[in-house]
Amino acid sequence: MKLYNLKDHTETVEFSKAVKLGLGSQQGLFFPKDLPSIKKEKLSELLNMNFISRSSEILSKFIKNEIKKTELEKKVKKAFSFSGPKIIKVTENIACLELFHGPTLAFKDFGARFMAQMLSYLNNKNEIVTILTATSGDTGAAVAHAFYKMKNVRVVILYPKGKISALQEKLFCTLGENITTIAINGSFDECQTLVKQAFNDEELKKITGLNSANSINISRLLAQICYYFEAFALIPKQKKIELIISVPCGNFGNLTAGLLAKSLGLPIKSFIAATNANDTVPRFLKSGNWEPKNTISTISNAMDISRPNNWPRVEELFKRKKWDLTELGFGSVSDDQTVNTLHELSNLGYDSEPHAAIAYKLLKEKIKPNQFGLFLGTAHPAKFKETIEKILKKEILLPKVLKERCKLPLLSHNMRPNFLKLRKFLLEK
């Protein structure tokens, strides 16, 4: 698959290069040159397959010239080796697509684990790779688990000490082996600055084989297309006629993947881009002006992003497909409304969490009587145990994986936010 840089269309690379590079020149995102499609007759055959075979089939549409299908299927099987998406009915015409049954209880497991498989497969010279990433919680956990015990890959994760939840810390700072975690005495921004400094240091980059494995990597997006097909396969036939999907958005990777599924030929009627108070995209869709404000902290903190970096991909896809951007549903939901919605869902017998609740609220507002709606459950409620228990005034039980992890000791190093210290650490260890 050839991809071009959205900031410079003359820069084109193969999939393998795009996976290794992450971003192109001028921090430009890579976008597929050819958009494959699935014929109508082929679609029902595809939908009848199991999750692994179907996902391999879909991914091979994009990357078959670089990775043989039999090889790809092996990698997909390894990447998606956990309990797949589930659909839980909430009202007569609305259900949640739960994507949080993976090892770190968030949908990010799908993308991170497939990227890990691709990076290790494409690293055919068995060079040492250092994945360096800063996290405010979820991404670090998904990346750490995805690369855990992988040969020739070392993962170093920086996070702001005392600023992520105790549960989140236990989830990825107890692994050991090839996973190193560093608690930085500072803010998340300071962690990110350290990572940027490392990537600007050519010598360090070369010696340690630095790679960022961040969420703009094209391999993550492709992996996420697969669960939209699974969702469509799982819902009853009569509900497939007019399907609306509401996506809780932060960096807009999840929505991009859904739109790519539609562009492949999956008959999804429309999407809703749901945000919290960080509403750059909803305001843009209303007024046509791109005016990011300062990021606001909310209870749906994985969506606290005011400059969503996948948005250019959404625009490009609408342009390429000649779709009308006015057909994209959108809205933003305040913390107060999120709290009310969590109560509403709980009264319906479904204990949820803030991110999914935002998607549900906008779906309920916009859905028409003849339609069926799915909202995406992006994280397990237990990941936000303290917040939700305070709101719903009831206990949220931890799943077994998390309970076991909580018993293990933290293995993190401590460090001041000082680049020379980090540099020395990376070169010595």
Which residues lie near ligand PLP (CB under 6 A)? 106, 108, 138, 248-254, 302-303, 355, 378-379
Nearest by Cα to 375 from 364, 387, 385, 384: 364
Residue 105 Cβ vs ligand PLP, minimum distance, rounded to whole Å: 9
Pick the closer one to ligand PLP by CB: 247 or 415: 247
Least Cβ distance, residue 139 to ligand PLP (angstroms): 7
CB of 310 to ligand PLP, least distance (A): 7
For the bound state, the minimum distance from the C-beta of residue 368 to ligand PLP, rounded and expressed in Å, comes to 25
Based on CB atoms, which residue is closest to ligand PLP, 309 or 340? 309
Question: Of the two residues 150 and 247, which places its CB atom closer to ligand PLP in the complex?
Answer: 247
**Cβ–Cβ under 8 Å, residues 281 and 252:** yes
Amino acid symbol at 192: Q
Spatial separation of the C-alpha atoms in residues 345 and 423, rounded to whole Å: 48
Distance CA 65, CA 412 (A): 41
Quick check: 112 and 142 in contact, CB under 8 A? Answer: yes
Terminal Cα-to-Cα distance of the chain (whole angstroms):
36
Measured from the CB of residue 104, what is the shortest distance to ligand PLP in angstroms? 10
Q: Which is nearer to ligand PLP, 266 or 303 (CB)?
A: 303
Quote the least distance from Cβ 111 to ligand PLP, whole Å. Answer: 8
Alpha carbons 184 and 202: distance in angstroms, whole number: 23
Which residues, 6+ apart, have CB-to-CB distance to 123 below 8 Å? 129, 152, 153
CB-wise, 60 or 212, nearer to ligand PLP? Answer: 212
120 vs 352, beta carbon nearer ligand PLP: 352
**285, 265, 257: which is closest to 111 by C-alpha?**
257
Rounded least distance, CB 96 to ligand PLP, Å: 13
Buried b (16+ CB within 10 A) or exposed e, 217-251: bbbbbbbbbbbbbbbbbbbeeebbebbbbbbbbbb
Tokens of 166: 């105790």
Distance in Å, CB of 18 to ligand PLP, minimum: 18
Which residue, 72 or 314, is less far from ligand PLP as judged by CB? 314
| DSSP annotation of 34 | S
Shortest reach from residue 259's CB to ligand PLP, in Å: 12
Is residue 271 a contact partner of residue 373, using CB atoms and an 8 Å limit? no
C-beta of 174 vs 378, nearer to ligand PLP:
378
Q: In what order do the strands lie in the sheet with 2-5?
A: 8-14, 2-5, 30-32
CB of 206 to ligand PLP, least distance (A): 30
Q: Shortest gap between Cβ of 208 and ligand PLP (angstroms)?
A: 27
CA distances from 414 to 107, 157, 161, 173, 425 (A): 29, 12, 8, 12, 11
The CA distance from 275 to 329, in Å, is: 11
Residue 76 or 379 with smaller CB distance to ligand PLP: 379
Q: Choose between 123 and 378: whose C-beta lies nearer to ligand PLP.
A: 378
Question: Residue for token digits 């005011």?
Answer: 306
User: 3-class secondary structure for 300-330?
Assistant: CHHHCCCCCCCHHHHHHHHHHHCCCHHHCEE
CA angle 15, 21, 24 (to 5 degrees): 90
* Nearest residue (CB) to ligand PLP, 56 versus 301: 301
Contacts of 390 (CB under 8 A, 6+ apart): none
